[in-house]
Chains A and B, each alone.
Chain A
Amino acid sequence: EIVMTQSPATLSVSPGERATLSCRASQSVSNNLAWYQQKPGQAPRLLIYGSSTRATGIPVRFSGSGSGTEFTLTISSLQSEDFAVYYCQQYNNWPPETFGRGTKVEIK
């Protein structure tokens, strides 16, 4: 089973600033990596798949990059609605599809 490690666990950012979230896989997952956003009391929402492709309706301020074992989610200018927990998920080696433990983006 591939282990996904996200860092940092918590990221404190001011509105309008850039946020950079990291996700590392215990072995190569090629570009089969997705990112999800979860707000309190809500279901997760797909942001990015294929490492860098934005899902339908996702603002351009969200971008993903990376391949192999190292991946990054960047939020170029944080809006108030972006404060949430973000999860990465690999889908190269299955089952199971595995998630990271999440990065909480909080207001600084």
Chain B
Amino acid sequence: EVQLLESGGGLVQPGGSLRLSCAASGFPFSSYAMSWVRQAPGKGLEWVSGISGSGVSTYYADSVKGRFTVSRDNSKNTLFLQMNSLRVEDTAVYYCTKVWRQQMERVFFDYWGQGTPVTVSS
């Protein structure tokens, strides 16, 4: 059974940093790309970032490019999202998602974690 367990969310001031983690199990982690998708309160879904199974290729939404960094540790089956220079508009629930293939090309998200909330406020 695929399981994705996010952690690391919380309350942070504008300009601050947070590091999200996602512990994965139930599938060969390094064989699949992974992504982060967020949902602002009462809003829809927004793809944030993705990383290939090997970790070599990374991708970002324009809204977070230069501020967020996605990475993975395949030896520990863990995905990360380092979020710097946080803004009020980054407030959202952040979902860790498994991608259906190894590369971040034409992907949909076949499994989702329960999400970790991030609140950016002074």
A residues near B, CB below 8 A? 32, 34, 36, 42-46, 49, 55, 87, 89, 91-92, 94-102
Contact B108–A34 (Cβ < 8 Å): yes
B residues near A, CB below 8 A? 44-47, 50, 59-62, 95, 100, 104-115
Cβ of A32: which chain B residues have Cβ within 8 Å of it? 106
Could you say which of B107, B114, B115 contacts A94, with CB atoms under 8 Å apart? Answer: B107
Contact A87–B45 (Cβ < 8 Å): yes
CA of A100 to CA of B43 in the docked complex: distance in angstroms? 11
Q: A44-B45, A49-B100, A89-B45 are in contact. Are A95 and B60 (CB under 8 A)?
A: yes
Q: A43-B115, A44-B95, A95-B60 are in contact. Are A89 and B44 (CB under 8 A)?
A: no
- What's the least CB distance linking B12 to chain A, in Å? 22
9 sample A-B contacts, Cβ–Cβ < 8 Å, listed by A number: A45-B112, A55-B110, A87-B45, A94-B105, A94-B107, A95-B50, A96-B61, A97-B47, A98-B47
